[in-house]
């Protein structure tokens, strides 16, 4: 969409130059302005139908890490590699440990650095190993399940 807006802006500006309304010196800034205006118009148009798409690009949002964790993988925010879980051993490559990594990317301390299924499996194992915590663990699993299905 951005590309076609740019094309549109370019055409408009070229038209102005052809008609000698604009010097080629001024064309650059006019192109920028026209493009920005078109972009704003587009944004407003999009905002009225889908508010989510007006959000800033992924890397600029403080919650970018949320997208790095998917059902089967966690993507290292440092190098972009995907793993089942982000090990301390791997983070050491980037001169980080789990704590520093969380701080750097604003990840909550309670967030496991592993894929969603790996996290769920570990929780399940913990439940089996520590039956006295069964009730509490089942409560939180149910809560998570509700959260997951609500998203779908
Ligand atoms: Zn990495």
Domains identified in the chain and CATH numbers: 2-54 (no CATH), 57-152 (1.10.10.1550)
How far does residue 4's CA lie from ligand 1's centre (Å)? 35
**Of 80 and 7, the one with more pLDDT:** 80
For residue 74, which of 52, 91, 96 has the smallest C-alpha distance? Answer: 91
pLDDT at 151 over 60: no
% of residues, the chain, pLDDT over 70: 69
How far does residue 82's CA lie from ligand 1's centre (Å)? 8
pLDDT at 95 over 80: yes
So what's the pLDDT on residue 12?
A: 80
Whole-angstrom distance, CA of residue 31 vs CA of residue 12: 8
How far does residue 68's CA lie from ligand 1's centre (Å)? 12
Neighbours of ion ligand 1 (CB under 5 A): 76, 78-79
How far does residue 123's CA lie from ligand 1's centre (Å)? 25
% of residues, the chain, pLDDT over 90: 36
Most trustworthy range by pLDDT among 11-15, 18-22, 115-119: 115-119
Start-to-end CA distance of the chain, whole Å, equals 27
So what's the pLDDT on residue 44?
A: 76
pLDDT at 11 over 90: no
What SS3 string covers the chain? CHHHHHHHHHHHHHHHHHCCCCCHHHHHHHHHHHHHHHHHHHHHHHHHHCHHHHCCCHHHCCCHHHHHECCCCEECCCCCCEECECCHHHHHHCCCCHHHHHHHHCCCCCCCCECHHHHHHHHHHHHHHCHHHHHHHHHHHHHHHHHHHHHC
So what's the pLDDT on residue 56?
A: 46
How far does residue 90's CA lie from ligand 1's centre (Å)? 6
How far does residue 97's CA lie from ligand 1's centre (Å)? 11
Q: What confidence tens digit (pLDDT) does each residue in 27-74 have? A: 778 778 888 888 888 787 776 655 554 444 545 566 889 999 999 999
So what's the pLDDT on residue 98?
A: 95
């Amino acid at each position: 969409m951005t590309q076609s807006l740019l094309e549109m802006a370019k055409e408009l500006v070229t038209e102005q130059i052809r008609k000698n309304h604009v010097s080629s010196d001024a064309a650059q800034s006019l192109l920028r302005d026209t493009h920005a205006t078109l972009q704003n118009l587009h944004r407003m148009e999009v905002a009225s139908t889908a508010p989510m798409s007006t959000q800033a690009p992924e890397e600029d949002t403080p919650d970018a890490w949320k997208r790095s964790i998917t059902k089967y993988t966690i993507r290292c925010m440092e190098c972009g590699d995907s793993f089942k879980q982000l090990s301390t051993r791997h983070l050491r490559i980037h001169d980080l440990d789990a704590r520093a990594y969380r701080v750097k990317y604003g990840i909550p301390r309670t967030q496991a650095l592993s894929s969603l299924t790996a996290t769920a499996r570990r929780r399940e194992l913990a439940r089996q190993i520590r039956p006295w915590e069964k009730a509490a663990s089942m409560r939180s699993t149910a809560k998570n399940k509700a959260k997951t299905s609500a998203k779908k």
